[in-house]
Structure 1
Amino acid sequence: MKNFKNIFLIFILCLTILILTGAGCAGQNQKKQDVMTTEDDTITNDNKKQNDELINETDQINDTSGIKKDEQKQVDSAMKKDELMINEEKPAGNNQNYSGAVISGKTAKLYDYNQADYEAALKTDNLIVLYFYANWCPICKEEIATALYPVFNELDKDNVIGFRVNYNDNETESSEKELAREFGVAYQHTKVFVKDNQRVLKSPEDWDKDRYISEINKALQ
């Protein structure tokens, strides 16, 4: 009986040791799990922070790109507006609708002068040929018949326009007198070339066809 008690006590002691040992191991495992959980939470928070920073940087880049796109649109719009204004101010060629009578020419036309047509021509990039003419002047009559009119009939350039301007005769209008004063014209049969609103030639000499063609080509260069 005594032996049985001893055995029972030993058994109880061993069982107690096993229980205590198991509890200790469980505690250590729980502690390790807690540490690992804390580390995982830290890593997760760090990753989340990095993701948030990347998202913010991406948003900033997108915002900047949006601003640059808006600025580029404004620049493109301004450039198109400038181009339209230039095209409106400087129509190319003889595509204008002039009201004056055509004296000669099909592609390059010579008109009887009127102020509205002349002002419209100034808004183009055409070379403007002004011939100051008096109906009583024999030199004028010969020059227009043998040189001025034939040259315009033969010109195949659509960037040349001419006006026969009455000067110091009974058909001269006030706008023609003003134009003569503007260019300092003192003689009939004077030629004045205007390009881009600037006088580029003035000659009171009488010209033949070759001289007209030469001077026109030179002014267009």
Structure 2
Amino acid sequence: MKNSLVIIAGVAVLGVVGVSVFVLSQNPASSPNSAVDQTMMDDENMMGGDETMTHSDSDSRYVEYSKSALDSSSGKRRVLFFYANWCPTCRPADISFRENESRIPEDVVLIRVNYNDSDTDNEEKDLAQKYGVTYQHTYVQVDSLGNEVFKWNGGQIDELLNNIR
């Protein structure tokens, strides 16, 4: 009888330990270093991209948002790309646009607007609200007066080329 109680207690302890290990392995946020690790990964992933992002070169076809970049491109077809640095579909699109910038027509400027991420400023939040953008990876083509021409979600260089008006 005593042996069976020891066995039952041992099985119960092993069960509790097993469940605890499983739960902890499924929730990486519970690790004290996970936030630091994620921040470091994000910084490493973004370093190469942002260093090469063109800010205001008038000949560039893919630029980072600024009021001056938006205003100076009013004579061209402008597409706002609402991008989030944490978005798993935005990152490949960003790479696609960088690698294929020469495929973007000369009369088109694609403007990367930060959306709902650590880099988003108030002007970018206002743009998202103005055009009714409710999630990242949204594209909005605007005319010279800033009026919406066409809006779509998702895609990379080929979808951009197919959707611009």
1:199 aligns with 2:148: yes
User: Which of 131, 135, 155 lines up with 1:187 in the alignment?
Assistant: 135
- 8 Å Cα contact 2:54/2:60 also seen in 1: no
1:169 aligns with 2:121: no
Cα deviation digits, residues 108-159 of structure 1 (max 9, x gap):
521111112212323x2x100110011111111122223x33342323x331
Q: How does 1:116-127 map to 2 (within 5 A)?
A: 116-122=68-74, 124=75, 126-127=76-77
Q: How does 1:15-164 map to 2 (within 5 A)?
A: 102=54, 108-122=60-74, 124=75, 126-146=76-96, 148-155=97-104, 157-164=105-112
Q: How many residues in Structure 1 have an aligned counterpart in Structure 2?
A: 111
| CA distance in 2: counterparts of 1:179 and 1:209, whole angstroms | 22
- SS state at 1:169 partner: coil
| CA distance in 2: counterparts of 1:121 and 1:137, whole angstroms | 26
Quote the RMSD (CA, aligned, Å).
2.2
- SS state at 2:133 partner: coil
- 8 Å Cα contact 1:132/1:167 also seen in 2: yes
| CA distance in 2: counterparts of 1:171 and 1:209, whole angstroms | 23
| CA distance in 2: counterparts of 1:151 and 1:194, whole angstroms | 22
1:213 aligns with 2:165: no
Shift in Å at residue 190 of structure 1? 0.5
- 8 Å Cα contact 1:108/1:153 also seen in 2: no
| CA distance in 1: counterparts of 2:109 and 2:142, whole angstroms | 10
- SS state at 2:78 partner: strand
- 8 Å Cα contact 2:63/2:110 also seen in 1: yes
Q: Show structure 1 runs of 4+ deviating over 3 A.
A: 105-108
Which stretches in structure 2 are left out of the alignment for 5+ residues? 1-52
- SS state at 1:102 partner: coil
Cross-structure match for 1:22: none
Cα deviation digits, residues 41-61 of structure 1 (max 9, x gap):
xxxxxxxxxxxxxxxxxxxxx
| CA distance in 1: counterparts of 2:58 and 2:129, whole angstroms | 30
Shift in Å at residue 106 of structure 1? 9.1
Shift in Å at residue 208 of structure 1? 3.5
Query: Percent of pairs identical after alignment?
Result: 32
Larger radius of gyration: 1
Cross-structure match for 1:17: none
| CA distance in 2: counterparts of 1:145 and 1:115, whole angstroms | 23
Larger RCO, structures 1/2 (Cα 8 Å, 6+ apart): 2
- SS state at 1:149 partner: helix
Change in Cα spacing, 1:158 to 1:208, as seen in structure 2 (3 Å) is closer
